Structure formats: C-alpha cells, structure tokens
Amino acid sequence: MLYARLITMRLMKAIVVLFLIIIFNFFLIHMAPGDPAAILAGEAGATDKEFLRQLRERFGLDQPIYVQLWHYVSGIATLDFGYSYRQQMPVLDLILQRLPATLLLTGTAFVLSLALGILAGSLAAARVKKVSGSLIMALALLFYATPLFWVALMAVVLFSVYLDWLPAYGMYTVGAGLEGFALVLDVAKHLILPATTLALFFMAIYTRITRASMLEASQQDYVKTARAKGLKDRVIQRRHILRNALLPIITLAGLQAGQMVGGAILTETVFAWPGIGRLMYEALMQRDYNLLLGIFFFSAALVIVFNIVTDLVYRLADPRIKEAS
C-alpha cells in the first residue's frame, strides 16, 4: 500500500514535470537559429519565395507560435508526435525503431560501470594504505579525466584497426544474414567497444564514491562493535560496511542512469550505433524540429522513470526511510 501510494504521487508529479519540459523544449527549439523550410529548399536547389511559402504552410510553420504549441501538445496527448519530413516517417515509429538499440547500449554500460565501480571501490577501501589501493584510485582518476571521444577513438584504433579483435562500427554485421544465437553473438561483439567506452567514465565515479562511502562507514560504531565481536574482516566489509555504503551509490546511480541516455550521443556517433543519440545528432543538423522534440520527450520520460525506480530501490535498500508526509 505504501509503495502504491508512493508511485501514484511520483507519477502525478512526473506528469506536471513532463508537461513543463514539453513547453520549455518547444520554445527552446523554435528560438534556435535556422529555418527548416529554407534548409529543405536549399537542398532541393530552389530559392523561390513561393516554394518556401508552400513548405512553411505544409509544415505548419506559417501559423502563430501558440497555434503550433497547441497542435503539438494535443498531438502528444494522443501519442502523435508529428511527422519527420527529413526521414519520411512518423516520429513515434522512428524513435521506437532506434530506442531498443540505445537501451541496450546504455543498459549494458550502466550495469558494467556499476558492478566494476563498486568492486573497484571496495578493493580500494580495503587496501586504503597499500599500493594496490592507490593504483585503483589513480586509474579511476585517469578514466574520469580522459575525454570520452578520445577514449572511443583510441579504442577503435587499438582494438579494431591495429589488433583487429573487435568491429569498429555498427550494431551488427551488415549483409551477413545471421539469425538466432549467431546474431546475438554478433551484436554482443559489436557492443563491447561502445558499452565499455561509455562505462569507463561512470565506473570511475562509482569507484570514488564507493571508496569514500565505505571509509566513512568503517568508522561507525556498529563496525567497531562487529570487530569487537571477532567477526572476520570479509564479513564486516560485505555485511556491515558495503551494505550501508550502497545508499549514496544508489542515489547517484539513479541520477546517472538518465544521464547515460544523453551521454550516449557521442558514443553512438563515434561508433555509428543506430540509437536515438545518433538520431538526435542527425535531427539537430537537419533542423528536424518534430523529431528533436520527440527525442527530447522520450529522454525526459526515461529520466523520470529512472528517478521513480531509484526512489523505490532506495526504500527497499534502507527500510528506515519512510515516505515524507
């Protein structure tokens, strides 16, 4: 009952937040420089004013801004996100085609970064005064400070060009005609480089947070009591220190799960991964307003969903937390 009430309250707030985001994104896109009709006309080699007028009328750009906003908001209420005239497809169909690839990439990178970050942070906390602990933190700092695009390019050069171990681009081998388990293995092979590249930055953050949280938890009275009882150090690290140190990590992971979707733009562009991040970049370059607004909507919705899930997980991890009145 408590969780049902919590979810209901979060969903009501989410609807209001999402509506405000829709309004803000709409005006933000329309304030950006560039005329989609002029760009289409230029690509078609036509500069006639009558042709431009026909294009603006066709796209609804000749209408007042409040009329365009009303049509857009009322369309979203019926899951009609408009039509992408650059891609010649409805926006919703186009996003749903690309969304699974992005969720696969970001989901894999999220699990990888969280698991390795917690493991590395735990090892660094257990070896705080040893060379191995300092080495782990130095590597975490290196991954955190290195630009993502440079890591991606160097990974392509090393593992694809020089060693020829992994494919550099795409989600699967085009024209191979693979099916079943062979297709799964092919996608997994293509996923290694982009997922690892995206995970390194976030893994470094989780490593530093885990180490700091565990060192703080190790000074608490319940840990001293456990040591006084003669419990083994491994048991204390796992059951008492790490369990309590996970709470700030859960909060940070929930926030960064949504950021990964936005952070995937660069990774998808470098590795030609067919997700919504790359689609957003293409829509931005082509001034495809309807498609950009649709991607912004789905990105915001995913962030809100991740935040709601984080609230639930946080309460499951720490039963002491009660719903605020």
296 Cβ contact list (under 8 Å, min separation 6): 21, 25, 29
Long-range contacts, stretch 223-226, CB < 8 angstroms, 24+ apart: none
DSSP 180-192: HHHHHHHHHHHHH
Average pLDDT across each block of 10 residues of the chain; the chain has 325 residues. List them in order. Answer: 71 85 83 66 62 69 78 83 80 88 89 89 82 87 84 85 83 75 85 88 87 79 73 71 77 77 77 84 79 86 82 70 50
Would the CA dihedral through 66, 68, 72, 78 be positive or negative? positive
113 Cβ contact list (under 8 Å, min separation 6): 198, 199, 200, 201, 202, 203, 206
Q: Which residue has the tokens 């950006």?
A: 32
Across the chain, where does the E strand assignment appear?
83-84, 89-90
pTM for this structure?
A: 0.79
Query: What is the predicted pLDDT for the residue at 39?
Result: 64
**Domain limits of the chain?**
2-91, 102-217+245-324
Burial class (CB in 10 A: 0-12, 13-18, 19+), 181: exposed
Residues forming a β-bridge with 176: none
Query: Nearest to residue 144, comparing CAs of 215, 192, 189, 211?
Result: 211
Query: What is the predicted pLDDT for the residue at 271?
Result: 84
CATH of domain 102-217+245-324: 1.10.3720.10
Q: Six-digit token pair at 275? A: 């997700």
DSSP 147: -
What does the pLDDT look like over 3-43, one tens digit per residue?
A: 677 777 878 888 888 888 888 888 887 776 666 666 666 65
One-letter amino acid at 237 equals Q
